[in-house]
Amino acid sequence: MTTPQTSHDDMTMRERMQAGLPYRGETTANETNNSADLTHRTSAEAARMTERYHRLDLEEDPAALTLLGELLGSMGRDVRIRAPLQVDYGYNIHIGDRLFANFGLTVLDVCEVRIGDDVQIGPNVQLLCPTHPLNPVDRRRGWEGGLPITIEDNVWLGGGAIILAGVTVGHDSVVGAGSVVTQDIPPYSVAVGSPARVIKTVDPEERSGQYAVENFPRAYREQVAAESHGPGDTRTTTGEELV
């Protein structure tokens, strides 16, 4: 028995956009709906919301955080995004707990953008979901598309990094400043360059240079030593081990 194929012909351009199908961008701006569904917010409305957010954030008004929660699809606790922030729609962006994003974050969220917990984002980072056809005829006729982006937990995106459509950056990874990420980055990776390439794997116990363990306060050195011993480790920590 053949399973009937679902037709996309009856979908609106906005529905096609969110489904990752080809759509015409100028048409989505003209599609209206009388419901309170956030997915019918226009990009112009999102721009006005981000402009208000900028003013409130500069004034250190607590209402800025409330407005940010209204702009985004979902938002966790202790989120800090420094103005200016630019988005396409906002409602496709889902943020976990304790995000810090520095000045100038741009998120073109024609598809879902999911950002995990404890993510650090440097200044002028771009998360770019939109795509365009290579076929010159289709492109000339205004067709475009998009693919989702995922930034997993505890990722650091260096200043000026660009994450392209369809990319997942694995947890505990670092993307170097100015890098252009065109393919998925595995967890515990350091990726740099354009296009970005993985140059090393992160050792969760490595601390060197500026962040060598001896440069931390004693209380933190004791915490690190206790964690490295583990619950089944009966060794005691001497003063020499904490130097």
Catalytic annotation, residues = 132
* Residue appearing with tokens 């940010």: 68
Query: Which is nearest to 87 in space by CA: 121, 125, 58, 118?
Result: 125
Q: Contact 126/143 with Cβ under 8 angstroms?
A: no
Could you tell me what percentage of the chain is helix, strand and coil, using 3-state DSSP and rounding each to the nearest 5? Answer: 30, 25, 50
Question: How many Å apart are CA 6 and CA 143, to the nearest integer?
Answer: 21
Torsion of CA 95, 203, 235, 223, to 10 degrees: -40
